[in-house]
Structure 1
Amino acid sequence: MKNNLLILSLLCFILSCKESDKTTVDSTKVLDTEVIEVAKDLEQEKEITTAELKKKLTGKGYQIFDYVDEKTKDTILMQQYFIAFLKRGVVRNQNEEEANRLQTEHLAHLGKMYELGYADISGPFGDDGDIRGITIYNVPTLEMADSLANADPMVKAGRLEIEIHPWWAAKGFPLR
């Protein structure tokens, strides 16, 4: 199910790319190909072993480690992700029309990141604090996460600023 969702998301993104988005797409073309390859591999192998997954992830440059869960005796694979905090930026003087346009472009950018497989989850915080929201990037390096996060139209306009930190999570564990 998760693999089908990833493939569907990738296809939606590819079909929805606009000419104006060429800069972001061109700067991530190599990663696009890698994401598509991983998605195809996962679709072909419904039951991929931990050893195979480790080999694929490390081959793509991801940082990982594993441990054995004492209770279940299962091997848990941990992967490094990058969590981007979207913070209130210093440029907040856009008129309502411009702010609405930026918000639309911001949501499209985050949707594209999810569809390409670069981001696993994004969302705003429920208060009106300086940290406005987060995005968790599923890419091999901090530099890639930083580049993708800074391609956000809200960041480019100065309405949001990015702060990124490495973050570890168990591979394949869902939110609950």
Structure 2
Amino acid sequence: MKKLFFILLVALSNNIISAQKTEVTYDEKLANELGGDNNGMKTYIFCILKTGSNTTATKEEKTKYFEGHMANINRLADEGKLIVAGPFMKNDRNYRGIFIFNCATVEEAQKLVETDPAVKAKIFEVELTPWYCSAALMAVPSTHKKITKPTK
């Protein structure tokens, strides 16, 4: 009896597990729109922003640089060049934030970071490297806009 119960339990478990699997279908149109290769991946440029060498900027100057920094982030995002940006929490590595650029070369990304007033003023220093990741990352900006409450 125990053996029969065990076999029945295993059979039911297999049915439940297989019923929970969802069928995923390849969406070629979406893959092309997002720039994905056959693996659904694409090349980005990953940027780490670090504390820069400018230690003499006044509070007012830093405020001005950060305002320009945020305006530049928004401009690059609106142009589709900046896919993800965000600050790091306090850490012991002097890491301040990241950018993930929608471009294929470090040289192109370097030109983009040079438009940032905080980088120009050496408030931040940058490290750039090619990065291979899911092309689905390209959907982050439009999704982010949908989940951000408008300010009054």
Match of 2:76 in 1: 113
**Count of residues in Structure 1 that have an aligned counterpart in Structure 2:** 112
Matches within 5 A, 1:86-97: 86-97=49-60
Q: Return the index of the structure with the highest Cα Rg.
A: 2
Q: C-alpha distance in 1, partners of 2:30/2:76?
A: 27
Contact 1:150/1:162 (8 A) holds in 2: no
Per-residue Cα deviation, 1:113-134 (whole angstroms, up to 9, x for no partner): 1111001010100114411000
Match of 1:84 in 2: 47
Pick 1 or 2: higher relative contact order, CA cutoff 8 A, min separation 6: 2
Per-residue Cα deviation, 1:88-119 (whole angstroms, up to 9, x for no partner): 11112111111101110011111111111001
Structure 2 residue corresponding to 1:170, chosen from 109, 134, 138: 134
Match of 1:132 in 2: 96
Match of 2:61 in 1: 98
- Structure 1 SS opposite 2:119: helix
Structure 2: give runs of 5+ residues left out of the alignment: 1-27, 141-152
Match of 1:60 in 2: none
Per-residue Cα deviation, 1:27-82 (whole angstroms, up to 9, x for no partner): xxxxxxxxxxxxxxxxxxxx7264xx28x95xxxxxx6433xxxxxxxxx210001
Matches within 5 A, 1:5-154: 48=29, 50=31, 53=32, 57=35, 65-67=37-39, 77-129=40-92, 130-154=94-118
Amino acid at match of 2:118: M
The alpha carbon displacement at 1:147 in A equals 0.8
- Structure 1 SS opposite 2:55: coil
The RMSD of aligned alpha carbons is 2.4
Contact 1:87/1:162 (8 A) holds in 2: yes
Taking structure 1 as reference, are residues 65 and 92 closer, same or farther at Cα in structure 2, changes over 3 Å only?
same
Structure 1: give runs of 5+ residues left out of the alignment: 1-46, 58-63, 68-76
Q: C-alpha distance in 1, partners of 2:30/2:56?
A: 52
- Structure 2 SS opposite 1:134: strand
TM-score normalized by the length of structure 2: 0.65
Contact 1:83/1:136 (8 A) holds in 2: yes
Paired-residue identity, %:
29
The alpha carbon displacement at 1:142 in A equals 1.7
- Structure 2 SS opposite 1:97: helix
